[in-house]
Amino acid sequence: MERTSAPADVTRLEHVVVPGTFDPITYGHIDVIRRARHIAGRVTVAVAASLGKNGTGPTFTLDERVALARQALADEGVSEGVDVCPLTGLLVDFCHEVGAGAVVKGLRAMTDFEYELQQADLNYRLAPDVESIFVMSNPTYGYVSSSIVRELAGLGSDVSMLVPPCVGAKLVSHFGTHTA
C-alpha cells in the first residue's frame, strides 16, 4: 500500500501548554509533563495563580510554586524543551502569548473528565485554534493529587513516594517534620 502525505490543513503541534496550580507539583504532574514533551517539541508549564482555589487559595505562593516546579523538573531530568511560567490570566490568552497550539491535561478519573471537558468546551468557544489534549493518568500516579499530598504532609506523613525531594523538603519546612 502506498503511503500518502497528510492533508494540507494538518499541522504538527510544536508547542503545548500544561496548565495547573501545582500546589505542589507531584510525580503525577511530572508524568503528564514528560508525556506532553513526547507529543510536542516544546512544553510550557503554566503555573496558575488560582487565588480563590478551594475558597482559601493555594498553600504556596505563585513564585514558590514556579520555583518548585522548575527545580523538580530539573531534578527529574524533564527540563530540556520545557519552560515554567506563571499564569495570571486566561489560559487561552496565555497560549496565544507563548505561541502554543494546544493544552495538555492529565485525567485520573471520571470526575476529572467532567471538569476538564467543561473547561475544554469553554476554551474552544474562546479560542477555537487552541486544541485540548487529554492523557490518561499513569496507573502508578492515578491516586496522587496535590490536595492529598498537602493533607498527608499536614498530618506529618512521609510523602516522598508522591513528590520529588525538593518538594518534600518544602512541605516539611511548611508543615513541620514528618514521620517516616
Which residues does the annotation mark as catalytic?
29, 53, 108, 146
Cβ proximity of 53 and 87 under 8 Å: no
Maximum distance among all Cα pairs of the chain, rounded to whole angstroms = 64
Closest by CA position to 19, among listed 55, 61, 69, 60: 69
SS3 132: strand
Tell how far CA 67 is from the center of its chain.
14
Q: At what angle are helices 165-175 and 146-154 packed, to 10 degrees?
A: 50
Rounded Cα gap, residues 26 and 37, in angstroms? 17
Rounded Cα gap, residues 176 and 179, in angstroms? 10
